[in-house]
Amino acid sequence: MGNEEAIFFSRVLTELTLSFHIIYATIGVGIPLMIMIAQWVGIKKQDEHYILLARRWTRGYVISVAVGVVTGTAIGLQLSLLWPNFMQLAGNVIALPLFMETFAFFFEAIFLGIYIYTWDRFENQRKHLLLLIPVAIGASFSAVFITIVNAFMNAPQGFDLVKGQLVNVSPIVAMFNPAMPTKVAHVVVTAYMTSAFVLAAIGVYRLLKGSDHLYHKKAVFLTMKLGLVFSIATALLGDFSGKYLAEYQPEKLAAAEWHFETGKEVPLILYGVLDNGEIKYAIKIPFALSILAGEVPNAEVIGLDRFSEDEVPPLYIHYLFDTMVTIGMWLALLSFVYVIGVWKKWTFVISKWFRWLLVLGGPLSILAIEAGWWLDEVGRQPWILRGIMRTKDAATTSGHVDTMLLLFAGLYLILGVGSVVVLIRMFRKNSVEQELADRAVEKAGELT
């Protein structure tokens, strides 16, 4: 295997691993907050349905954590095996958040174990709820620290490179790079949003399958309200991300928007096709890109004409941007209509066709997460460490990466299918109705 083949297979394997891991990682970050909110609402309203929601979500969450640990470990392994030159350079600068991410995970896992095994040990449920706070904090900070590493790749700082040697290394400066605030906030909030829509989709699916239990209706209404809140927050953070790109990574913004010539009063381009450099069939929103980049309609936006051809990211990231934005706006609209519809008692929000739209919101939110990460990683190309190290210079020269690709693909297939089968069997054998009946018997026994 030649160097070019090794680079190609390294990129494919890394993309496969990240694409698979991000599903479980996103759910792993967002679900603890959903569990905490459900249990808090249950305690506040003295409603057994919300308490049971927290219990059942926790069981499913444990499975996602287990798979996330395996795939996260695979990412750490592949960074060293597939990108040794990158790790040799960047590992000396950005190792601190990698260590902190491991610490945050253990912090989360310890309190999650205590939380699970003390369900019925507290007379005051508020004390049990307190155990969820470190779980939610640990899960969110796992995302924070690992995203800081990704932000560093987009805006490297905190060191000087003199004749190929690292000097003046400052890990703290490296962590607090310009990309960190917007990227971390966007990743964490979209994890909350995605988790809400995935849980809502599960609840609506159960309603469609004939389980017209009040438990599922409460679950759907709670998660759709949370989905609405976090989808609005995601849109606001997306605006900040656009402004960051305009200032610090203008080539990525220009490629994502097919903005070829630097100018003012630039429209935002959605969809369309490129035909010999000419944009056709696109939707153009006047002045919108200038407003996004500079807050005013006549703001100048740097185009791809300012960059050499070998520094321009692949132009297909335009479709990844469109996919992410379209799904995000659709989910915000869908959740808004549903929440208002329930409040106003519009009958169509409980119709079969509308409920199927809500079910589709779950996989669509996952697709938006995938598109966003692909946009981030591909949009940084040809750099693995922007402006310092190109991807082709960071890769391994090993001739066995193709074999690794097959082995890891088999592992992810087993993990994916296995986790779905386990989750389905877990909840099929323990129906909501049966659990509520068992809880009622337990309470009756306590009273007597």
- 168 conformational bin, left if phi > 0, alpha if psi -120 to 50, beta if neither: left
pLDDT for the residue 229: 92
**How far is 381 from 313, CA to CA, in rounded Å?**
5
| Per-residue pLDDT, 367 | 93
**H/E run at residue 75:** helix 48-82
pLDDT at residue 432, rounded to an integer: 62
Structure tokens at 289: 């890109």
> Could you tell me which residues come within 8 angstroms of residue 345 by beta carbon, excluding any fewer than 6 positions away?
none
The dihedral built from the CA positions of residue 355, 67, 402 and 319, taken in this order, carries a sign that is positive
Q: Inter-axis angle of helices 214-248 and 48-82, to 10 degrees?
A: 40
Query: One-letter amino acid identity for 27?
Result: I
237, exposed or middle or buried, with CB in 10 Å at 0-12, 13-18, 19+?
buried
Report the pLDDT value the prediction gives residue 444, as an integer from 0 to 100.
55
Using DSSP's 3-state secondary structure scheme, residue 267 falls into: coil
- Per DSSP, the three-state class of 315 is coil
Q: To which residue do tokens 């929440």 refer?
A: 339
Q: What is the pLDDT of residue 439?
A: 59
Residue 348: DSSP 8-state: G
Tens-of-pLDDT digits for all 448 residues of the chain? 556 777 888 888 888 888 888 888 888 888 999 998 988 888 888 878 888 888 888 888 888 888 888 888 888 788 778 888 888 787 778 888 888 888 888 888 888 888 888 877 777 778 888 888 888 888 888 889 888 988 888 888 888 777 767 777 788 888 888 888 989 999 999 999 999 999 999 888 888 887 657 777 888 889 999 999 999 999 888 888 888 888 888 888 888 888 888 888 788 888 888 877 778 888 888 888 888 887 788 888 888 888 888 888 888 888 998 999 899 999 999 989 898 888 887 888 788 888 898 889 889 999 999 999 899 888 888 888 888 888 888 777 777 788 888 888 888 898 888 888 888 887 777 666 566 655 555 555 555 5
> What's the rounded Cα separation, in Å, for the pair 87 and 85?
5
Cβ(161)–Cβ(388) below 8 Å: yes
Q: Which two tokens stand for residue 352?
A: 């079969």
Residues 6+ away with beta carbon under 8 Å from 140: 29, 32, 33, 188, 191
Residue located via tokens 């849980």: 199
**Residue 87: predicted pLDDT:** 82
Q: Do residues 443 and 50 lie in contact, with contact meaning Cβ atoms separated by under 8 Å?
A: no
Tokens of 153: 């790749």
Q: Sign of the CA dihedral 24, 29, 34, 35?
A: positive
E-state strands within 242-301: 268-275, 278-285
Cα gap 352→355, rounded to integer Å: 5
The rounded distance, in Å, linking the Cα atoms of 188 and 173 is 21
pTM for this one?
Answer: 0.89
Residue 214 CB-density burial (10 A; 0-12 exposed, 13-18 middle, 19+ buried):
exposed
pLDDT at 194: 92
Q: Which two tokens stand for residue 236?
A: 């606001």
- Whether 338 and 372 have beta carbons less than 8 Å apart is answered as no
Q: Annotate 189-205 with b (16+ C-beta within 10 A) or e (fewer).
A: bbbbbbbbbbbbbbbbb
Tallying the residues shown for the chain, one arrives at: 448
